[in-house]
A and B are shown apart, each in its own frame.
Chain A
Amino acid sequence: MTMLVTVSGPPSSGKTSIIIKTVSALRRDGLDAGVVKFDCLSTVDGGLYEKAGIQAAVGLSGNLCPDHFFASNVEESLAWGQQRGLPLVLVESAGLCNRCSPHIKGILAICVIDCLAGVSTPKKIGPMLKLADAVVISKGDIVSQAEREVMAFRTKQANPKASIIAVNGITGQGAGALALLIRQGAAPQASIHGSRLRFSMPMALCSYCLGETKLGEEFQRGYVRKVDWCKGNGVVGG
């Protein structure tokens, strides 16, 4: 049984740095974790995870909608972690459009936003932030106290139910709190086959474009692309 957590957020909000710091905090408490990174055209993050000694896999969506690509491959991300005997898999996806909706019902969902993106960011992001269980706010160390407080307030307005945690991806300040939230909030999953997304994805050209929210190969029609788990597009590190 492996725990699954979805971590999403706008590009360059600090997801990878925060995951690296959080995994090292989890490891201090004896919980190992692997990361599956979904990205669009290219990524160097696989190398960053490898350097930090974290098992990681990378999936590149290429010319497909990255969000739909994510939904088509997240089930296998859990299987990837299970095969490796990892107790926890963090699935990192870049929210390339603010409408994307990568969170799954029953699976701990984290959204990362950063203070430099400005205080209207929480309003601008859709289900990725509004339906997350926890919102991590990064880069607070370089803006004023007022901006930190306004950012937290706006986030509460946009998602009144979420826990809000400030994490510094450079120093790791706050990563312990996020690690604790993951240990307390993530549940081991035998399978997420048939689990539902928290919200339908933005439309494109496949079965998910028509409002499909169920995971699993039989629900995927049209232009579906799978990660090649054996080749370079699949596994790095570990």
Chain B
Amino acid sequence: MDEMLAKHPTLADFFRQIGIEDFATFASLEEVLRSYPESHFEHYGLDRATVRETFDAFVHRMEGLKDEAQAKVQSIVVLGGYDKSGREEVARIEFVPGEIVCVVGPTGSGKSRLLADIECLAQGDTPTGRRILVNGQAPDHCRRHSSEHKLVAQLSQNMNFVLDLSVGEFVALHAESRMLPDPVAATQLVVACANDLAGEKFVADTSVTQLSGGQSRALMIADTALLSPLPVVLIDEIENAGVDRKKALSLLVKGEKIVLMSTHDPLLALMGTRRMVIENGGIKRVLTTSDEERSHLSYLERWDRGVLRLRDVLRGGGRIEGREWECFEKAISSSN
């Protein structure tokens, strides 16, 4: 038993969930089963045979999770379908790890639909008729249809933390579920990164449900970047979140993830290497961010920092006039 527990620490959870705490004192599963009356297992809706069977399956599955070197994704390809009027859209777009591609278009144009098609690895079976290829091939059934073989992590404005735990406990829970060798260090790293992204700092003892909008977004981004094993991240409109957007994106692509981001924010749109323009439900065109656009980006960033500064002045009870305004004008007009 000691050997088993050393190899699979999560076996402790297996025994705890059937009300057995002294599992480590036994030599084998059989001995555990003998030491508890049948009625003990009945209480948990099990019998000995089922416990035995489940134990084997548990060990097998946990081994599988460990071994599964996260499927390497070299590319994702979207083969175009049709827009809402049935017209063909852009035929083929390919994404590679470390790349940020933006999705732009008016509200209701179909940006979320595109992200949903990628999330479910559509094979001509969604309203758009799009097909998604992974490493140049149509994904097999297994990959498409079971949660454990998913490729895509999602971040959106609608997502919240519902667990009532502290930030530290919460991240540790995620790290444990990944069966990382050092969950404590992983937790510290995520909390530090999240603080680096958030406008207002928070500590590991803060309850996740008490985080501000910006703090929880920062924690979600840092956690997804550092702890989620999934190689593709879809971001649905996180612009108003009060996080350092540039740092957040570079954290995500540093992990060699493919990042697709639906946005209305010019700053974010220009941070992408390319952007897909969605109109009437279809991909109208794909634009590569030009050198001129990139040069405007640094101006926009100055402007953005200036506005953030004004925000701080306002929040600190100051006035946006006189010296403060001059500072702002100077900041945005200074040449590259």
Contact = CB atoms under 8 A, between A and B. Distances in A.
Interface string A97-112: 0010100000000000
A13 B119 CA distance: 23
Nearest to B165: A119
Given A173-B119, A180-B141, A119 B148 contact: no
Contacts, number: 120
A37 interface: no
A174 interface: yes
Nearest to A29: B125
Interface stretch (B55-63, B94-102, B280-288): B55-63
A146 B141 CA distance: 24
Give the most central of B13, B141, B148, B177: most A CB within 10 Å.
Answer: B177
A152 B61 contact: no
B60 A160 contact: yes
Interface in A139-174: 141-147, 149-150, 152-154, 156-161, 163-166, 171, 173-174
Give the most central of A127, A149, A156, A164: most B CB within 10 Å.
Answer: A149
Interface residues of A, number: 43
B333 interface: no
Contacts of A137: 147
B45 A130 contact: yes
Contacts of A152: 147-148
A11 interface: no
Given A127-B45, A145-B153, A150-B173, A164 B162 contact: no
Contact of B159 (A99, A142, A163, A176): A142
Contacts of A163: 145-146
A81 to B, nearest CB: 25
B224 interface: yes
A173 B42 CA distance: 37
B177 A154 contact: yes
A193 interface: no
A177 B144 CA distance: 8
Interface in B150-167: 150, 153-156, 158-163
Contacts of A115: 162
B50 A131 contact: yes
A232 interface: no
Contact of B163 (A99, A118, A130, A156): A118
Interface residues of B, number: 51
A171 B161 contact: no
Nearest to A167: B147
Nearest to B164: A118
Nearest to A146: B174
Nearest to B229: A149
Contacts of B57: 160-161
Given A123-B17, A130-B45, A145 B147 contact: no
A97 to B, nearest CB: 10
B46 A130 contact: yes
Give the most central of A101, A145, A161: most B CB within 10 Å.
Answer: A145
Contact of B147 (A116, A131, A146, A165): A165
B14 interface: yes
Contacts of A161: 54, 57, 61
Given A115-B162, A146-B174, 5 more contacts: A149-B177, A160-B62, A163-B145, A171-B116, A199-B46
Interface of A: 99, 101, 115-116, 118-119, 123, 126-127, 130-131, 137, 141-147, 149-150, 152-154, 156-161, 163-166, 171, 173-174, 176-177, 180-181, 199-200
4 cross-chain pairs, A with B, having the tightest CB-CB distances, nearest first: A126-B45, A153-B177, A160-B57, A177-B145
29 contacts: A119-B163, A123-B17, A126-B46, A142-B160, A142-B162, A143-B162, A144-B220, A144-B223, A145-B153, A145-B154, A145-B224, A146-B173, A146-B224, A147-B163, A149-B178, A150-B174, A156-B61, A157-B13, A158-B17, A160-B60, A163-B145, A164-B148, A165-B147, A166-B147, A173-B116, A173-B120, A177-B145, A177-B146, A199-B46
